[in-house]
Structures are given as C-alpha cells and as structure tokens.
Chains A and B, each alone.
Chain A
Amino acid sequence: MASTPSGTHGGMADFNIHHGFIEALIRGMRSSFLADSDYHHITQCETLEDVKLNMSETDYADAVSDLTVLTPSGLQSAAINKLVTEFKYVRTQAVEPLATFLDFITYEYMIENIMLLLKGALSGRDINELLAQCHPLGMFKESTMRSIPTFEANAKGFADLYQTVLVDTPVGPYFAMFLQESSNAMGGEVRNVIEEVEIEIIKSSLIKYWIEDFYQYVQKLGGETAEIMGDILMVRADTNAINITLNSFGTPLNEPVMRTSDRKRLYPAVGHLYPAGTHMLADVSTEEELGKVLDLFPQYTSIWSVHAAEAEMSIDDAFYERDVQALELAFESQMHFGCFYAYVKLKEQEIRNLVWITECILQAQKDEINKFVPVFSSHAPWRSSTKAR
C-alpha cells in the first residue's frame, strides 16, 4: 500500500500558505523542552517532592500540579497527556498533506495498542485495564477497541477479527499485507497465521510495513521533507533491523531455517542497510558476525563498538543518541514537515529521561542517574558550543 499525498507542500516561497502558522507553532513549542540547567536541578534532587518543585518551574508546571504525589508512572502519564494535548491541537489545525503526515505518526502507536489488546486477550486480562494502558496517541473509536479482545482466541476468531474490526482501522492495510505475506509463506492457510506466529513477530512485521509506507509517502512529498524525514526513517529502519537480529540470538528465530524464511522478512526495505546489509544480516548467527557486517557500514560501527565494549552506555542508549542527533537536525531548517515528527519523538525521549531520573531518585541509585540522553543539550557530543542556553 502506498499512500499518495494530495500534493506537495511547496518550497520556500509558498510553504507558508497552508503550513506557516502551524510550523511556527511547533517551533515555538521547541522552547518547552527541558534545558541543561533544568536537568541539572532535577538530578540534584534528593526526594520526589523536590523534583515536583523543580518541575513546576518548567513547562510541565500545569501537568505536575495535578499530581498530589509525584511517582515515576504518574509523571509519565501526565507528561504523555500533555504531549497528546499539544499534538491534538496541532492536528486539528493541519490541512492536507500535513494532516496525513501527522496521522502517519499516530499509526505507530495504533499498532502498539492493537498488539497490546491482542496480547491481553490471549492472557485473559480485563479490558478496562488494557484500555488504560493504551497509548493515547494511538486510540481509535472506543467501540472498536473494546471489541478487539472479545473475539475468540482461535483460528476462526482471528480471521473474523481482521475482517470485521481491523480492516476499518487506518492500520488495516498493514494487517492485510502481513496476512497475505504470511499465508504465501505458509502455503495458503490464512486463518492459522495469527495463532501460530508470535505476537512480537506480528508487531515487527507491522512496524516494518508502516516504516516502508511512511517512507514512500515522504518521498512523494519531495523537497526537503523527503530529504530530512527520509534520513530519519532510514535510521529508524536500520535500528529495527539491528535490534531484531540482536534479539533473535538464543531464540528459535536464529535457527538457519528460520533465519532466511522468517527473520529476513522482518527487515524493512528501507534504510542504509538495505539491500546489501539486510541480505548479509539474514545469515548472521552470532554477535561476532553481526559486528563484522556492521563494520562495513560506518554509521553503525561506533554504535556497535559501544555495545561490544560493554561500556557505560547500553546499545539502546547509543541508538537513542543517534536518533536524537538526526531529529535535532530537523529543527535546523525551515519549511518542511520534519519538525513535527521530530517534536513528538524528542518529547518522548524527554519523557523517558524524566522517568529514568525519577526512578533513580526513588531507588536511591544516584550513580546511574546521568545515563540519559538530553535533548537540545549544549553538551551533546556533536555540538561544540561555547555558550550555554
């Protein structure tokens, strides 16, 4: 499925006709990110009450004032709700093709929510509890969401689930492609697919289709959006490919038969590693071989060496750092859509940072507290700045 944008967004001279106000709005929201000084104050706090006091001087003042007692999970949901409010405000003002672009950002969360509901249905959890755990950016109609776990957990139930419920959601086409490809591989048995294949593999496949679809859409928009978003999505696709490979070691997915048939199908057809790298990754069976493949790609040697050396930073943090670097670049130039995606992702990173810091304070692990990736920091490794913000 390749969505086609209803038009291009115009270059420097006419981007502002439809998107000038909204872009300036998002760029104004850039000042709401926590600065180095804010992180400094928060990491120095001894208790969560102090954290709450410090947070009330930042842009999170309103979000935090509603919490009577600050807990990491409470802070996370308050911060996510703040992000969702801002996103919805921007989304209501957007016109095509920006509206579809913003919708693409939400599809990722919709896929996560559907997988959460399916997994919950399989283990028989309560629907209300599951709905409370869903990410707010990826909600669709409540009746649809409530009906997902009610389907029977057998072959016929899943087929019905897709045909009646999922096909109407915006991510329906991704399911259709997944079922098509899986039934091709398994020789035509559509109904058994969802039952036999693990939920994680379904999720990886859906995210792969989403990345490819988003990439095609962005390329059709052309101009600077294609350049900047294309780069961001390629880095994302490569991160997924490397993580899939890394996580498959020690699982049945790593067996030679499974590698070519199943694991290879999970690699996105987008990215610096595609097509030569993913072809080689399909044959990799140990971490050493993975390292040898990544040596051929200069962008990833430094990340891999972080993992191989088992240094202070985990490989996830190294990937996050690479992501943050690419996303900050989206704010460096004007008149394109990259800043919208970058804003959502960088806010997510900030929320991750806040949860990490509050967890460290709660568990009194002060030596681990600085292992987060700050956003728009003047101390970032790629930024040689003489002036602090």
Chain B
Amino acid sequence: MGHEDCVSKFCNAGWGEVLSRLSPYGYANFGIAFGLGFSVVGAAWGIWLTGSSLVGAAVKAPRIRSKNLISVIFCEATAIYGVIMAIILANKIKKPGDGITTELPEDWDFNSFYYAGFGMFSAGLSVGLTNIASGVSVGIAGSSCAIADAQDASLFVKILIVEIFASALGIFGIIVGIIESNACNFPIGAAE
C-alpha cells in the first residue's frame, strides 16, 4: 500500500485498490464531514420529534412548557458533540511543509500519514453514527415525556432518566472519537 505500483493506470482496478489509494487527507476530511453532518441530523431529528409533541401537549397544559425544554437541550447536546469533534479533528489537519509541491518525498512520514487519515475518518464516523441513534432516541422519549407530563406531573422526572440514558449514547461516541484521534497527527515533513 502506498509505495507499490497500481495494477491499472488510474489505480482503480478494484475496490481494494480504490480505497487504499484514497488520500488520507480525503479520509480525514470526510471523517469531519460525516461526524458533523450525522450529528446534526440526529439532533434535528430528535428536536422535531420532541418539539411537535411538546407544542401540542402544551395547548391544554401550559405548565409543561419550560420543564420539557430539557428534552430539546439533550438533543442539542448531540449536535454539540459533533461540533467539538469536528473542531478537534479540523485542527489536526496540516499542510505539508514548504518545498513539497506535487510529489511527496521518499522519506515522508507515511506511517503517521496513513494512521492519521484512517483514524480521523473512524473518529468522525463513530461520533456521527452514535449521535444519530442518540438523537432519535432522545426525541422519541422526549415526545412521550411531554405528553405524560401534561397528564401527571410526577412522571416527568422518571421519564427524564430514560432520556439521560439515551443521551449517554452520544457521549460514548465522542469519548471513543477523542481517544482515537488523540494519536493522529498529520506529518508536515520527513519522518523523524
């Protein structure tokens, strides 16, 4: 990988060749995009799930308005995890140093290069996909929470515990993402 010659002229003889020839810069930036994009999809999904029920239930029971905004905040938190991860990853992407124009030099630090690319892709995906699941889960639980709270105020705190567990799923994603991307560093020059 990396140094061997391709079988075909454009390095596209099969999926294996295509995937292993994708530039690590591409992998890393896709990781950022997926991480942020999927997290926001999950958060938005959760917010409209819980928001529509909250507005409807508040018509007959206006007292639930303020308390149930917590559900919306939990959903928003999943989007924030995505933003944090994206910022961390974006700061780790560096241009190659001066003097390197079209071809990477022979002594380029390919180890860190590929490690960083794949690692950041995986970190982004892990945050993004877990946040979709977390966002949808918090949304559905939040919708039921608003409706139940409108009928019986003592139910709110109990259903909130369900939502807390649901939003913990997003935290798992960002923890793993941070641990994984810690060791990823794009090189700017030759290997030391």
Give the interface of A toward B (CB within 8 A): 12-13, 16-17, 20-25, 27-32, 334
Contact = CB atoms under 8 A, between A and B. Distances in A.
Size category, B interface: 20 to 34
Most chain A beta carbons < 10 A, residue from B55, B60, B140, B151: B60
B40 interface: no
Per DSSP, are chain A's interface residues mostly helix, strand or loop, or mixed? helix
Interface of B: 45, 48-49, 52-61, 136, 139-140, 143-144, 146-147, 150-151
Contacts, number: 64
Contacts of A13: 45, 49, 136, 140
Given A13-B45, A31-B150, A334 B144 contact: yes
22 contacts: A12-B140, A13-B45, A13-B136, A16-B52, A16-B53, A16-B139, A20-B49, A20-B143, A21-B53, A21-B55, A23-B53, A24-B52, A24-B57, A24-B59, A24-B146, A25-B60, A27-B147, A28-B147, A28-B150, A30-B151, A32-B60, A334-B143
A21 B54 CA distance: 8
Given A16-B49, A334-B144, A24 B55 contact: yes
Contacts of A30: 151
B60 A29 contact: yes
B56 A20 contact: yes
Nearest to A31: B151
B150 A27 contact: yes
Contacts of B60: 25, 28-29, 31-32
Contacts of B57: 24-25, 27-28
A267 B69 CA distance: 51
A95 to B, nearest CB: 13
Contact of A20 (B52, B58, B136, B151): B52
B63 to A, nearest CB: 11
